[in-house]
Chains A and B, each alone.
Chain A
């Protein structure tokens, strides 16, 4: 089975802190994605990556950056956390560019105070 793991289930940070959210997948998937999920808004794509060192902006990239130095690992970075970034963050991966089913991690609930 594909396994996507995220570094923390719950995280509390202060405004202005730099925050790293880590995601690791164990199935050699080429594509990786970061979403945030907010009540009433569903999932919104922040960034995605088709390959190592490649990244593409999603629908809401402002205030975020990403890093993909190894194929299995995709990091989401909040350079200076703000209260409006309090949310559930979900990481996902898919096999290759032409495959569409995504496998999700359990999520990180981030609270910025």
Chain B
């Protein structure tokens, strides 16, 4: 399987702390994306980083990409209870279809 893996599988932090989740993949990629899924719902696109980029920011989100290590990380700063969700990385090769990781469940407590 070319499916990516995410680490940790679950993460519990307090509101205001930073959350970091990591993603590894196995193939060459065109870009890598991060999605959020609230419990029992569909996925929502958060951010896309291209293979020639090393870091990207969007609001409280910071994504890094290391193509030599085939890995990416998502940092959420100053987390809020509303950030509680599952987070998935997904990578694209030559076609527009995505290969998803297994996800990280983030719990942010008050």
Contact = CB atoms under 8 A, between A and B. Distances in A.
Given A42-B103, A44-B3, A102 B40 contact: no
Contacts, number: 62
**Which residue, A43, A98, A104, has most C-beta atoms of chain B within 10 A?**
A43
* Interface range on chain A (Cβ under 8 Å from partner): 20 to 34
Given A40-B102, A42-B88, A42-B102, A101 B45 contact: yes
Interface in A37-72: 40-45, 48, 58-59
Interface residues of B, number: 25
A104 B43 contact: yes
Interface of A: 4, 31, 33, 35, 40-45, 48, 58-59, 88, 90, 92, 94, 96-107, 109
